[in-house]
Structure 1
Amino acid sequence: MKKIIRVTTVPISLGGLLKGQLNFMTNHMKVIGISSNGDGKLAEVSQEEGIEVIPVEMTRKITPIKDLKAVYHLYKIFKEEKPDIVHSHTPKAGTLSMLAAKLAGVPNRLHTIAGMPLLEATGVKRSVLDFVERITYACATKIYPNSFGLYDIIVDNNYTTRDKLKVIGNGSSNGIDTSHFDPALFSLQDKEELKKSLGIDETDFIYIFVGRWVRDKGINELITAFKRINNENSDTKLLLLGRYEKELDPVLPETEKEIETNPNIINVGWQNDVRPYFSIADVLTFPSYREGFPNVVMQASAMGMSSIVTNINGCNEIISDRENGLIIPVKDADSLYNAMRELAQNQNLAQQLAIGARPRIMELYERKAVWKSLLNEYKTLLT
């Protein structure tokens, strides 16, 4: 039986971003997962996906000594296991595992690009990240951008040649399970009870954001825009799901203060199940600066919601302006405010945009279709 090793920097990516995919692949090949241990989280991935796992400590920051140790550890694993394919996700895991796999002589070295943090970097940091990116691409035999927009960015920056690049299916690293993200699963009573528990009135218009509360996700612009909306119309609420990453990408102090003090910003923190909150919201607000192929926008659309997104790759592939949502410029709080205001004032428009959201997801990004497309790619490479 053919053997594949899948590598991510942290186990939440291995078991979350690729949920179900690893188990699906075990029907066709032996699958081993590698990631940092994550306080025992890697063992949970092993149990949930039914795969063997091997912990290799990797950091998300640039840590040269730890990185070299990780490369050596990965190299030893690859030499011992002799996989037919090493397939990595997330930036740090990609660089370390592609280098180690090349040194170990692994024939198929695959890396999925699901976003490029370096796009927001400048100066020396950007130069370093560009160099690291080129190392990853040089060591890989195939690069899979998970959106067509990312494909174009990679080509425009001359990171690698077109013959190494391919988008699997219609994009996305794992697609979406539309039987799980289904608004029909939540009754009117369920929604009324949740609204009541959160202090939301039936007349309130509800915006929702799901993701990391960081600068790159457009949180500063979102809070600025919502504050203006809310001052004009007190029957508006903003549901925030997620958490800060203050060490990596902090928001402005005034943004954090507004989140903590505005009674109409409802901070529910990190939630393992975001569906109940989508079920009561009216519009997803997702003003991100950069993405690969955003799961949150797929999830909201599958739950039958319209979305306000920025004009970036991934977002502008899932959302078509004025068809299933609104597309606005990046880093533009005024445009975000105008879009949020328009949908609150014209709720019929918000509902019309929502009608086309779920069918588009079901047609293009159903999870099992994405898995089958990737499996076909593996089979092609292995023959």
Structure 2
Amino acid sequence: MAKRKLIRVTTSDISLDSLIKGQLKFLSSEFEVIGVSNNTGVLAIVGEREGIRTIEVPMHREISLFSDIKCLWLLYRLFRKEKPDIVHANTPKGSMLSMIASKLASVPHRFYTVTGLRYQGASGLFRTLLMAMERISCYCATKVIPEGEGVKKTLLEDKITSKEMHIIHNGNINGIDTIYFSEQATIEQIKQSLNLSKEADSEKVRDLFRESIGLSKNDFAFIFIGRIVNDKGMHELAGAFSKLIPIYPHCKLILVGNFEHELDPLDSKDLDFLQNNRNIKLMGYQRDVRPFLLASDIFTFPSYREGFPNVVMQAGAMGLASIVTNINGCNEIIKNGENGIIIPPRNTTELFVAIKDFIENPQKKQLMAEKAREMIRSRYEQRDVWNALLKTYRELEK
């Protein structure tokens, strides 16, 4: 019996590579899976790793009428040719185009997973346009899947859709591989990358990696992972650390991610501070963030808007307590006072106080860290999320 056909769409191959890593290979046991996205250079790598066919459609995150119409036509032709049973999309642009195209092509099952809502950080006509895009995606979908309870609530409150919505498992798009995101696996990876003896103990390995990125044994290291833009709370992070560093010279901030100077650039004062202060360690984009999490003491994520951020779960799986803002996703992963601290968004003072409290009360860090990993493992284990998604697909047969 031939397998049913599933096409998964994201705007960029980077999203296929990172957001749903491993999931496509898992699903290919029951489906003929095709991955569709723009190709920035990793699409073929994704196809080989996941054991699936991949097809390039040159979609871009930015709005471009001519390019978007061209991609809509390419997707429509692709769906007419492949005749998939399911088209499942996430990321805003890829989702809107593929939901319209799959509806026009009469694809029977059209899934839209709603992650971060871009319009929440916009205003004026641009916000209206982004909201319209979300409404179109939801209208054309046969099943709308919010990434978490917060996203679901926002979609209803903003009247984006009135359709019945279904959250997969406890939320998130891919869950967390808690074997991969563990101290043991990370220690082994660092031993290989630094050519250390297999017998080297964990504490020594951690100290050596910290030393390799400019941290001393006595430094108290906070870490941020993500795009370095205003929307992620960089203004507040720069403001808090500019006050903290003169008081606590051993306080360091590790930034893992790229500065985006065209989309949502930083204020020149914040940019100068983050790029030139010796207590700020700039690591750039890293495909493997585990060693940097292992080297850190606290995860900081003062973002303005999210869907269900993977990095907060990754930090928790690595045994880190987190400081997050009270926004969608973050306030579902973090239970205030248990595995981290929740603060109001856009509040430099509250961020400063939370960071200062962890520095002055290391036992608080330890108590929260002890709960962090188990709270992720019990709610967001990757195989549980995948099996819940597979169950949702199987129910279409009934």
**TM-score tier (shorter):** over 0.9
Q: Could you say which residue in structure 2 is the equivalent of 1:154?
A: 155
Distance, in Å, in 1 between the alignment partners of 2:397 and 2:230 is: 42
Q: Could you say which residue in structure 2 is the equivalent of 1:45?
A: 46
Q: Could you say which residue in structure 1 is the equivalent of 2:137?
A: 136
Distance, in Å, in 2 between the alignment partners of 1:197 and 1:184 is: 19
- The offset of 1:247, in angstroms, is 1.0
- Counterpart amino acid of 1:205? F
Q: Could you say which residue in structure 2 is the equivalent of 1:85?
A: 86
Residue 69 of structure 1 pairs with residue 70 of structure 2: yes
Residue 175 of structure 1 pairs with residue 190 of structure 2: no
- The offset of 1:251, in angstroms, is 1.1
Distance, in Å, in 1 between the alignment partners of 2:328 and 2:214 is: 36
Q: Could you say which residue in structure 2 is the equivalent of 1:354?
A: 369
SS at match of 2:373: helix
- The offset of 1:199, in angstroms, is 2.5
Q: Could you say which residue in structure 2 is the equivalent of 1:192?
A: 207
Q: Could you say which residue in structure 1 is the equivalent of 2:193?
A: none
Q: Could you say which residue in structure 1 is the equivalent of 2:146?
A: 145
Q: Could you say which residue in structure 1 is the equivalent of 2:30?
A: 28
- The offset of 1:114, in angstroms, is 1.1
Distance, in Å, in 1 between the alignment partners of 2:274 and 2:158 is: 37
Distance, in Å, in 2 between the alignment partners of 1:314 and 1:154 is: 14
- Counterpart amino acid of 1:169? H
- What is the TM-score of this pair, normalised by structure 1? 0.98
- The offset of 1:322, in angstroms, is 0.4
Distance, in Å, in 1 between the alignment partners of 2:139 and 2:275 is: 46
Q: Could you say which residue in structure 1 is the equivalent of 2:236?
A: 221
- The offset of 1:382, in angstroms, is 3.1
Count of residues in Structure 1 that have an aligned counterpart in Structure 2? 381
Distance, in Å, in 1 between the alignment partners of 2:118 and 2:265 is: 14
CA contact (8 A) 2:144 2:163 kept: no
Distance, in Å, in 2 between the alignment partners of 1:382 and 1:121 is: 40
Distance, in Å, in 2 between the alignment partners of 1:126 and 1:211 is: 23
CA contact (8 A) 1:290 1:312 kept: yes
Which consecutive segments of 4 or more residues in structure 1 shift more than 6 A? none
Q: How does 1:1-383 map to 2 (within 5 A)?
A: 1-38=3-40, 40-163=41-164, 165-185=165-185, 186=187, 187-383=202-398
Gaps of 5+ in 1: none
Provide Cα deviations, 1:219-246, integer angstroms capped at 9, x if missing partner: 1111110111111110111011000111
- Counterpart amino acid of 1:349? K
Q: Structure 1 residues 292-301 or 185-194, which shifts more? A: 185-194
**What is the RMSD of the two structures over their aligned residues, measured on CA atoms?**
0.9
Distance, in Å, in 2 between the alignment partners of 1:33 and 1:322 is: 40
Distance, in Å, in 2 between the alignment partners of 1:138 and 1:78 is: 18
- Counterpart amino acid of 1:34? V
Provide Cα deviations, 1:69-93, integer angstroms capped at 9, x if missing partner: 1010000010111100000010000
Gaps of 5+ in 2: 188-201
Provide Cα deviations, 1:328-381, integer angstroms capped at 9, x if missing partner: 001001100000000001011011111110001110000010000000000112
CA contact (8 A) 1:15 1:49 kept: no
Distance, in Å, in 2 between the alignment partners of 1:26 and 1:129 is: 33
Distance, in Å, in 2 between the alignment partners of 1:382 and 1:67 is: 33
- Counterpart amino acid of 1:378? Y
Distance, in Å, in 2 between the alignment partners of 1:336 and 1:290 is: 16
Distance, in Å, in 2 between the alignment partners of 1:100 and 1:218 is: 36
Provide Cα deviations, 1:86-140, integer angstroms capped at 9, x if missing partner: 0001000010000000000001011111101111111111111111111111111
SS at match of 1:176: coil
CA contact (8 A) 2:87 2:110 kept: yes
SS at match of 2:342: strand
SS at match of 2:153: helix
Distance, in Å, in 2 between the alignment partners of 1:154 and 1:310 is: 20
Distance, in Å, in 2 between the alignment partners of 1:279 and 1:135 is: 42
- Counterpart amino acid of 1:179? I
Distance, in Å, in 2 between the alignment partners of 1:224 and 1:109 is: 44
- The offset of 1:184, in angstroms, is 2.7
The percent of aligned pairs where both chains have the same amino acid is 45
